[in-house]
Structure 1
Amino acid sequence: MPKYKKGKKQVQEEQDTRQRMSDQKTEMYNSSIRSLIVGGICFVLSLLFNGSLINITPESGTAADVLLILMKSLFIVVFYTFTLIGLANAMELRGKPSALREVFIIGAMAIIQGILSLPVFFVSLIGVILATLYLWGVQVRVERY
């Protein structure tokens, strides 16, 4: 039996705080699921286009060829970014940060998708490196404050 009784107002405030925290965690979990779904959709689209299951062959050296390379690379970079964000958010909700191993595995999955076409591979590699540096920079900046 506690020495001091908590007032009804204080008990209600604690319950409200717990409810808000629970709602916030649920929303964060749903957000990470949505990010993983977007990453999965981009993964499937990337496999369809980069694996030549959907074959679009514009004339060589045209603007359509450049747009096709950019589109294929964009699918790869968006897959990498959203999958990394979704996985990192889910891991953080579980109480442990994502390891470097997961980042390398997702990065390897992203880079391997573009290996059939040299221009797509290099544009994707640059995009994945830039996305990694951006996410690392944002994380460091948030941890400082």
Structure 2
Amino acid sequence: MPKYKKYRKKRREEYKEEMEKISDIKQDMYSSSIKSLLIGAGFFVVSLLLNGNLIPIPVEEGNYLDIILIIVKSILIIGFFGFTMVGLANNLELRGSPASIREVIIITSIALIQSVRSGAVFGISLLGIVIFCVYLWLLQPKVQTV
């Protein structure tokens, strides 16, 4: 009879250790999603400052600096979209529900509204967001099967 009690106690301890590991992993995932959302917010603020011309940078059209500025503005918008999407999706996954198409459309709209003032920034940002969404869509089935 002592073997049975010892086995049950050992099994209970193993279960507690396993639950603590899962709790630690979930805490790390939650803090990672918060960090991603904060980085996305940083990209959003800097993008609004540059794309809204709150910080005017005088450059001549067709100049190398103009092209670099368009690329930087587009990268900021794509960075906002990427980090916000990953952070939100991880947070929703921790709660037990996947990101719906509604959240994707809202984040995409916010990202593209930032670039309305410039057609080149809008085009590059739209292309980057579409490539990012296709990448996530193609990556999803591979992650689920592993």
CA shift, 1:139, in A, is: 1.2
Which residue number corresponds to residue 35 of structure 1?
Answer: 36
1:28-59 per-residue CA deviation (whole Å, 9 max, x = no partner) reads: 00000000000000000110000000111212
Report which stretch shifted further, 75-84 or 129-138.
129-138
CA shift, 1:135, in A, is: 1.2
CA shift, 1:7, in A, is: 3.0
Measure, in 1, the Cα distance between the counterparts of 2:143 and 2:96: 17
- The answer as to 2:62 corresponding to 1:61 is yes
Measure, in 1, the Cα distance between the counterparts of 2:36 and 2:139: 17
Which residue number corresponds to residue 122 of structure 2?
Answer: 121
Measure, in 1, the Cα distance between the counterparts of 2:98 and 2:120: 34
Measure, in 2, the Cα distance between the counterparts of 1:56 and 1:136: 37
- The answer as to 2:27 corresponding to 1:26 is yes
Measure, in 2, the Cα distance between the counterparts of 1:57 and 1:132: 33
Task: State, as a whole percentage, how many aligned pairs show the same letter.
Answer: 46
Which residue number corresponds to residue 75 of structure 2?
Answer: 74
CA shift, 1:129, in A, is: 0.5
Measure, in 1, the Cα distance between the counterparts of 2:141 and 2:75: 25
Provide the TM-score with structure 2 as the length reference.
0.93
Measure, in 2, the Cα distance between the counterparts of 1:59 and 1:140: 46
Q: CA RMSD in A?
A: 1.1
Structure 1 stretches lacking a partner, 5+ long: none
What is the one-letter code of the residue matched to 2:137?
A: W
Measure, in 2, the Cα distance between the counterparts of 1:57 and 1:121: 20
Which residue number corresponds to residue 100 of structure 1?
Answer: 101
Provide the TM-score with structure 1 as the length reference.
0.94
